């Protein structure tokens, strides 16, 4: 497998850069939970130590998945892989844009999960919380900076504390 030299660290420090990637997000192969790590030859002792420790913490992916990924990563399939990834990014971007558009979603009352997400986005926007859709997936990243003062007055100064308060106040989970 050819390792991409587009990674900036590989260009400036190739002998000390460990390159890792996962296929679930990178190849839109959700659920496969497969990835790789490329260690340069200079870090062979570290690779050996990691292999020893990791062998007790990971499981083996099914052989058909391993073979499919090994074939997909061959240089002769690079163009097909690039096309597939580009198509997935465009599709997920369209989903993200669609979900971020409250006006576009409200007519679809039958899709309650989507409508609930649109309403939540609308409620956040109404109180000044900015939202940033992802560049290639369907995630939505809210920026709660506008709420910092009010949250701090309640003793909430970290993301963990905020999530705990949300779960407890929405009676979703016991925050023990």
For the stretch 153-172, pLDDT in tens is: 999 999 889 888 888 887 66
Nearest CA among 30, 66, 36 for reference residue 51:
36
Average pLDDT over all residues of the chain:
75
Give the global pTM: 0.46
Strand partners, 20: 37
> What is the rounded CA–CA span in Å between residue 141 and residue 143?
7
Mean pLDDT of 105-113: 48
pLDDT (0 to 100) of residue 24? 75
Q: What are the tens digits of pLDDT across the range 3-53?
A: 455 567 777 888 888 888 887 767 766 667 788 888 999 999 999 999 888
Q: How far apart are CA 117 and CA 106, in angstroms?
A: 10
């Amino acid at each position: 497998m050819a390792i991409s030299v587009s990674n900036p660290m590989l260009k400036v420090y190739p002998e000390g850069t460990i390159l890792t990637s996962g296929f679930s997000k990178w190849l839109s192969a959700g659920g496969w939970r497969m990835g790789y790590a490329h260690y340069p030859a200079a870090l062979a002792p570290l690779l050996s130590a990691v292999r020893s420790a990791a062998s007790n913490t990971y499981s083996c992916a099914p052989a058909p998945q391993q073979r499919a990924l090994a074939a997909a990563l061959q240089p002769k399939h690079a163009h097909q892989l690039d096309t597939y990834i580009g198509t997935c990014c465009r599709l997920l971007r369209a989903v993200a844009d669609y979900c971020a558009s409250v006006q576009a979603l409200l007519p679809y009352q039958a899709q309650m999960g989507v409508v609930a997400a649109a309403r939540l986005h609308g409620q956040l926007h109404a109180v000044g919380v900015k939202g940033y859709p992802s560049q290639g997936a369907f995630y939505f990243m809210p920026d709660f900076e506008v709420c910092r003062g009010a949250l701090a007055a309640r003793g909430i100064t970290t993301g963990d504390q905020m999530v705990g308060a949300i779960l407890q106040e929405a009676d979703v989970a016991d925050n023990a």
